[in-house]
Amino acid sequence: MGNGNGVTATLTQAVETVKETASELGSAVVERAGGAVQTAKSAVTKARRTVRKAAGTATEAVGTVKKKLAAASKTARQQAEELRRGASARKAAKKTARPAAKKAAKKAAGASAAKTPAKKAVARKPVAKKPAAKKTLKASAAKSPVKKATARKTALRSPAQKAAKKSARKAARR
């Protein structure tokens, strides 16, 4: 049985060697795992910082865009209001100017008619005939009298017809 003690000693030594090797391996695994955990933690904190910065930048960008849009909207509203005011002022001026011009024309016509009604009628006829006379002088002798009559008609246009023609021209331009 003397050999049994040697076998036990050898087995004990082998078990201790395995135990040491296992503990070394375990500590190495733990160290590596700890290093991996530290690396993961630092990566996560860096990612969080980057996300915070990006979110802050995006929030600032959204805020500035909102401010710019609000300012642009405000100026657009002001310009639209100015245009409305200008258009309404022009319409009001036209409305007030037309009756005033008509009244002034009536007063002038009434005053001159009261002073010399015969002279007024005489003064109109030569004005109407003069353009026709000029056109007949310019025209050749072969022209027919019908064309002369149309020339007189254009010369005898009323102010209302002239105004209607002007407004039609303006509408056509737009």
Q: Which tokens go with 120?
A: 């007024």
Q: Which tokens go with 132?
A: 């026709």
The total number of structural domains that make up the chain:
1
Do the domain assignments include residue 11? no
Do the domain assignments include residue 174? yes
Do the domain assignments include residue 16? no
Give CA–CA dist 44/50, Å, rounded: 10
pLDDT of res. 1: 44
Give CA–CA dist 122/115, Å, rounded: 14
Do the domain assignments include residue 158? yes
pLDDT of res. 146: 53
Do the domain assignments include residue 135? yes
CB 132 within 8 A of CB 151: yes
Percent residues over pLDDT 70 in the chain? 61
For residues 95 and 143, the model is more confident at 95
**What is the dihedral sign for C-alpha 105, 106, 109, 111?**
negative
Query: φ and ψ at 140, to 5 degrees?
Result: -80, 165
Do the domain assignments include residue 72? no
Do the domain assignments include residue 139? yes
Of the listed ranges 10-14, 34-38, 149-153, 166-170, the least confidently predicted one is 149-153
Closest CA to 22 of 14, 6, 9: 14
**Model confidence band, residue 117 (pLDDT cutoffs 50, 70, 90):** very low
Give CA–CA dist 65/80, Å, rounded: 22
Closest CA to 102 of 154, 155, 160, 165: 160
Of the listed ranges 10-14, 84-88, 111-115, 170-174, the least confidently predicted one is 111-115
**Model confidence band, residue 2 (pLDDT cutoffs 50, 70, 90):** low
pLDDT 10s digits, 26-56: 888 888 898 899 999 999 999 999 999 999 8
Do the domain assignments include residue 130? yes
**Model confidence band, residue 150 (pLDDT cutoffs 50, 70, 90):** low
Token match 């011009």: residue? Answer: 101
Give me the domain span that covers residue 131: 121-174
